[in-house]
Amino acid sequence: MSFDATPDPYTNPIAFGQRVQILRTRRGMSRPVLAGLLGMSPSWLKQIETGLIQVPKLPMILRIAETLRVRDLSDLTGDVSAPAELFIGPGHPRLAAVKAAVDNLFMEQRPAPSNEHLQHRLTRAWSARHTAPNHREVVGGLLPDLIRDAQLAVQQAESAAARRAAQATLSEVYSLSQFFVAYQPDSALLWRVAERGMVAARESEDPHAIGVAAWLTAQAHRDSGPRHFDAADTVTEQALRFLDPHLPDADDQVLAIAGALQFETGYTAARRGDTPTAWSWWDKANKTARKLEPNYYHPITSFSRAIMGAHAVTVAVELRAGGESVRQAVKADATSIPSRPRLARHRIEEARGYQLDGQPEVALDTLDRAHEAAPETIRYNGYARRIILEETEAKSPDRRRRAAELATKLGLLAA
């Protein structure tokens, strides 16, 4: 029987082990690879998939869900009576308005704002994203008009140079849109935004715009699962090759996007479990960061000298190295990260490290701090949701209580 004839785990009432096997195969993962990422043996996984071992307890189910990046926990368990979204967060109330602006095909008959005016609004929007705890709400309110105005500016550009400048601005607007759309229940919209951002960046011929669009496209590929890791690498490699001739005389903005792409290559290697390659690319990115002004902070990627400690935590966590994750977390200077959502993301990565290291109490403390920094970041983060749900089943009553409180704040449990 061909794989295409295999029952669909999203629609058919089939056994847990069969669901694991189908989802694993669809992600392009071999049994030894998945077992290794779970810290178990291939024979154990085979017994799970063939039903020789009973369904594991919730902590292991959540680890399998995280590794396979299922859309909803019920996709793995088959229990549709209690869905729990993990790597796809809840749809934001402003998502429909942003989608309508992206999908707008007919331009209004009115003068477009100047590129300078749009750039000023973009600067304010990026600032709001980094400083507002409810950054999705704020950015979601600004995006519809920004998208429509940037599209209009490209259409009405009166010269080739003006059109290229307008395309660079439109590409950056799509970049901001991708931050908003990410981890929401509309993957088709995410890819539409990413592709339009890349098209606009290429039309602009601007190295920075092309680098940013490539950085976001690579992330979209990587977050789609192991079958897309090669595509992510292809994007980053091509972008770095394109940027290389510009680097000797590059300003901090272009240097920073090159460094961000270097780290993305290491991040994907860490997802693969390739330790030497992951740390080699981290080293390259760190050398690039040292070329930046000490206080420089890239407004889109957050790349800077300050972020490299947080990036080291991420590499160690993705490599499942609990002790190294904690060592890097202790070394990292989180207070130097000025962006609230980026700080919250770093706290979540720290929490993953502490849990890997067998320190669940510290992991919960760290997730509390992530929630304080940016509630909307942790609400949409699958790793945080997985840790919290797992701890609601902890043996310790105190941990169960604290996890339940966080789960309620995130909307994972009814208040």
pLDDT digits (tens, 9 = 90+) for 359-372: 999 999 999 999 99
Contact 215, 260 (CB under 8 A): yes
Average pLDDT of the segment spanning 377-389: 87
pLDDT band at 108 (very low <50, low <70, confident <90, very high): confident
- Domain edges within the chain: 9-77, 306-415
pLDDT at 200 over 50: yes
Of residues 181 and 393, the one with the higher pLDDT is: 181
Give the pLDDT confidence score for residue 7 in this predicted structure: 46
Question: In angstroms, how far is CA 270 from the centroid of its own chain?
Answer: 15
Contact 265, 247 (CB under 8 A): no
Query: CA–CA separation, 236 vs 115, rounded Å?
Result: 28
Query: CA–CA separation, 48 vs 41, rounded Å?
Result: 11
Query: CA–CA separation, 263 vs 285, rounded Å?
Result: 6
pLDDT at 121 over 90: yes
pLDDT band at 160 (very low <50, low <70, confident <90, very high): very high
The structural architecture, per CATH, of the domain 9-77 is Orthogonal Bundle (1.10)
Residue by residue, DSSP assigns 234-276 as HHHHHHHHHHGGGGGG--HHHHHHHHHHHHHHHHHHHHHT-HH
For the full predicted model, state whether its pTM sits above 0.85: no
Query: CA–CA separation, 82 vs 80, rounded Å?
Result: 5
Contact 176, 122 (CB under 8 A): yes
Q: Tokens 């989180």 identify what position?
A: 334
pLDDT at 1 over 50: no
Q: Which of left, alpha, beta for 112 (phi over 0: left; psi -120 to 50: alpha)?
A: beta
Question: In angstroms, how far is CA 289 from the centroid of its own chain?
Answer: 21
Give the pLDDT confidence score for residue 86 in this predicted structure: 53
What integer best gives the mean pLDDT of the chain?
A: 88
Query: CA–CA separation, 390 vs 35, rounded Å?
Result: 19
Helix 115-131 with 135-155: angle, nearest 10 deg: 170
For a pLDDT cut of 70, what percent of the chain falls above it?
A: 93
Give the pLDDT confidence score for residue 76 in this predicted structure: 79
- Reported as type and span, the H/E element at residue 99 is helix 95-102
Give the pLDDT confidence score for residue 287 in this predicted structure: 97
CA nearest to 260, candidates 231, 229, 292 = 292
Average pLDDT of the segment spanning 340-356: 95
- Reported as type and span, the H/E element at residue 339 is none
Query: CA–CA separation, 187 vs 71, rounded Å?
Result: 11
pLDDT band at 60 (very low <50, low <70, confident <90, very high): confident
Give the pLDDT confidence score for residue 4 in this predicted structure: 42
pLDDT at 235 over 70: yes
The structural architecture, per CATH, of the domain 306-415 is Alpha Horseshoe (1.25)
3-state secondary structure of 135: helix
Handedness of CA 49, 228, 354, 339 (dihedral sign): negative
Average pLDDT of the segment spanning 241-265: 96
User: E strands within 330-376?
Assistant: none
What letter would DSSP give residue 113? Answer: P
Average pLDDT of the segment spanning 130-159: 94
Residue 109 burial (10 A CB sphere; 0-12, 13-18, 19+):
exposed
Average pLDDT of the segment spanning 209-229: 91
